[in-house]
Chain A
């Protein structure tokens, strides 16, 4: 092989080797404390159990459920499609990469809110985004979907829709045999945007 090609080939290999060797210094950027404080004050990280249930039933591909409870509790019952990550392994490299996955909303839940809040804070501190908390955790989910939670006072039509949605959801998860004569689409008036699309790659693309 000619000498100039040998030199070029070596150059190329060195260049590629450089990529492998260079330290990954820019991976975990910590958020500025002021920014963190404003993020905590903002309430947009919460999703209601109804919203989460809706997306589970719809098989929303952008939904990634993270169960923060212990492995035993996870095995007993967990929301369909959820991954079990206990809080002590939250910051492992593999899990951090999971959390940085684009195109997915990472919804945290535990038994109540305390663990989820801690986990959310940790993640946000590491500049991870699209992390949400299912408000009330499994306790709230169980009370709302599995047991019937009655609405106080005179129920509005939105409330009635919500109740029949929950009935349908119950059937979906448990199969209670009750008849449902309403559709499974609740009208949710919350202002939290449920992100369904892929994050916009600014360009279109495709050949």
Chain B
């Protein structure tokens, strides 16, 4: 049995990680009837925040009014709790495998600043796209694929297909 180094470099065998993730996904459907997700929590938080700051704006917004305002409770949402769990679980893994480290991870060929700018822009664009597609890689693609949803597969193919091309375009940031 290989000795595990707890210096932050150890990663689970990816297939084992996949089986664990698949089990969690399966249990999620079995227990709660739905798959995992992440971007929905962002949507709920945005809706709730805007509702606190400017409720009239939410009422006028065709999109946000579906999730906040009136008798909607955007924060009392399965995904919000799940996201808290994700943070906790990842943190736990970070502790166990000694990967807790405050840093900006970037290719040595670019600066931290450039990495952070692209992270921000990437997140912005991703957030925009996730609303349009009604999900992200976890919610639409992964969970959608688990239940053989056509929309889920379409979104997955669109994301990964585009990312292959786009990563090549932005390759200076990575390799």
Contacts and interface: CB of A to CB of B under 8 A. Distances in A.
B78 A204 contact: yes
Contacts of B138: 207
Contacts of B35: 205
Contact of B33 (A5, A203, A206): A203
B51 interface: no
A184 to B, nearest CB: 26
A73 B2 CA distance: 75
B35 to A, nearest CB: 8
Nearest to A9: B15
A9 B48 CA distance: 46
A206 B139 contact: yes
Interface majority SS (helix, strand, loop, mixed), chain B? helix
A206 B40 contact: yes
Interface string B58-76: 0000000000000000000
A112 to B, nearest CB: 40
Name which of A202, A203, A205 has the most chain B CB atoms within 10 A of its CB: A205
A203 B35 CA distance: 10
A172 to B, nearest CB: 29
Contacts, number: 33
Which range contains the number of B residues in contact with the other chain? 20 to 34
A202 B34 CA distance: 9
B15 A8 contact: yes
B9 interface: no
A25 B15 CA distance: 33
A151 B104 CA distance: 79
Which range contains the number of A residues in contact with the other chain? under 10
A207 B130 contact: yes
Contact of B32 (A5, A203, A207): A203
Contacts of A5: 15
Name which of A5, A8, A206 has the most chain B CB atoms within 10 A of its CB: A206
A207 B149 CA distance: 14
Interface string A166-207: 000000000000000000000000000000000001111111
A5 B18 CA distance: 14
Interface string A88-114: 000000000000000000000000000
Query: What 8 A-B pairs are tightest by C-beta distance, nearest first?
Result: A207-B139, A207-B135, A203-B33, A207-B37, A203-B34, A207-B40, A205-B34, A207-B39
Interface of B: 15, 32-35, 37-40, 77-79, 130, 134-136, 138-140, 143
